[in-house]
Amino acid sequence: MLTREQLAVDPVDAAKLLLGAELHADSPEGTVKVRIVEVEAYRGGDDPASHCYRGRTPRNEVMFGPAGFLYVYFVYGMHFCANVVSLTDGVPGAVLLRAGEVVDGIEVARARRPASRSDAELARGPARLTGVLGLTREHNGIDLTDPSAPVRLHAGTRVPAEAIRIGPRVGVAVAVDVPWRFWVDGTKAVSAYRRGGKRGRTAEIR
């Protein structure tokens, strides 16, 4: 399993570390294991696209650390997104899990995502990924480094640097060109890129 010490680093470094790692989620239906193939890094006070840019709130509390915890939030009134907290206690940072490949528990995953046209689509995108793993707001704050936790983070197979692709984050309203999205080259599970941004909002990372 990945350790808290390994994850207590800058979100950009944690993002690269998480590529190839596996998230294992237990439920009454069975255990689903997903290999992470696409992520996005988010910092705190210097990242206007981050949930923590304007400080600590009840919603983003988990993102302030310590590292290794699961930060789950609800978006658009219909989807859950999952993040792995990085950095140190009191310093906000996290990595959004954007997409993965189901490596075990495929039948449970298919039952949860019956509209998927292929197995590559099952966890393609942050909402689909949480869907196949069965993650909801109830999982917010779980310690992913605890071997007895219902959701656990395993190291998996490290992705070599030459197989990692880098680009802007998807759909953010500000800091749209910051290259903090990372994905594994060649996998069909990577989600489609959609540039964000709104006219008049051009904040950049300091």
Q: Which of 25-34, 38-47, 77-86, 195-204 shows the lowest per-residue confidence on average (mean pLDDT)?
A: 195-204
Domain range list for the chain: 4-184
Contacts of 25 (CB under 8 A, 6+ apart): 31, 32, 33, 34, 133, 134, 135, 150, 151
pLDDT at residue 198, rounded to an integer: 64
Give me the residue label for tokens 């983070």.
153
Between CA 64 and CA 174 the distance in angstroms is: 21
Q: For residue 54, what pLDDT band results from cuts at 50, 70 and 90? A: confident
**Residue 160 identity:** P
- As to burial, measured by CB atoms within 10 angstroms (0-12 exposed, 13-18 middle, 19+ buried), residue 13 is middle
- As to burial, measured by CB atoms within 10 angstroms (0-12 exposed, 13-18 middle, 19+ buried), residue 125 is buried
Q: Tell me how many degrees the CA angle 98-105-118 measures, rounded to the nearest 5.
A: 60
Which tens digits make up the pLDDT trace of 94-151?
999 999 999 999 999 999 999 999 999 999 999 999 999 999 999 999 999 999 999 9
Q: Are the beta carbons of 197 and 169 closer than 8 angstroms?
A: no
CATH number (1.50.10.150, 3.10.300.10, 3.40.190.10, 3.40.50.10420) of 4-184 reads 3.10.300.10
pLDDT, greater one: 198 or 157 = 157
pLDDT at residue 202, rounded to an integer: 37
pTM for the structure as a whole = 0.92
Q: What mean pLDDT comes out for the span 80-85?
A: 97
Q: For residue 75, what pLDDT band results from cuts at 50, 70 and 90? A: confident
With a cut of 60, say whether residue 34 has pLDDT above it. yes
Mean pLDDT, the chain, whole residue set: 92
Between CA 134 and CA 11 the distance in angstroms is: 25
> What counts of helices (H) and strands (E) characterise the chain?
4, 8
Between CA 5 and CA 88 the distance in angstroms is: 9
